[in-house]
Amino acid sequence: MTTPLTRALYRRSFDDGWLDVLVGVGLTLIGCFWLIDQVVLGALVPAVLFPFWKIGRQKLVEPRLAAPNFGVSQTAQTRRALTGWVLFGAGVALTELAFVVFVKTTGSTAGGSTDFAVAIPAILVGTGLFSGLIIGARRFLVYGLLAIGTALGGSWAGVEQPGWLLVLAGLPVLIAGLVLLVRFFRDFPEVTDEAV
């Protein structure tokens, strides 16, 4: 069982903004690739950005705060929560796939569902952003709600390209991440060997 102090430290270990910056850049890039009809390249963005998580932590965060090492119980708790989110995500993705296949094979728009279909990628992104709650980053709840709101608003406004909605979902995450990262740099200057 994890202690309240361990949970608080774990949550705080993600308050530097680096994760937000990567997620914001990723969503914005994916949206841009969708805008130029290169959806396959957009699908590669998370795999390309993934190594930058560790590089950024090592080069930007750890020289200022060091690398936290959490116990087995915290790691197990996070792994269980992550497994649940992966299963949830798989279910949502299968639902979207079934919807797309249904619309393409039957040609049925089910009462305006093609207007709503443009919002589906951003809605999925929004639900995925809720997974930031696993690490205790409550701001990801706001990011998810903004993405879903952007998707629904864009669908209602008649946006025809999902890429715009993904870009609009990614920009607030990116901006907030940059603000957090600048604040982190200001509050925690890099520790040099002489200072130790």
Top pLDDT among 191 and 66 is at 191
The domain ranges of the chain are 4-187
CB half-sphere exposure, 16, CA atoms < 13 A: 23
E-assigned strand segments in 39-104: none
Residue 167 has pLDDT above 90, yes or no: yes
Backbone angles phi, psi at 96, to 5 degrees: -65, -45
Amino acid residing at 194: E
pTM of the model: 0.77
Query: Which pLDDT does position 190 carry in this prediction?
Result: 80
Least confident piece of the model among 22-26, 167-171, 174-178, 192-196: 192-196
What's the gap between Cα 52 and its chain centre? 14
Tell me what the mean pLDDT of segment 185-192 comes to. Answer: 82
pLDDT in tens, 108-155: 555 555 577 788 889 888 988 888 877 778 899 999 999 999 999 998
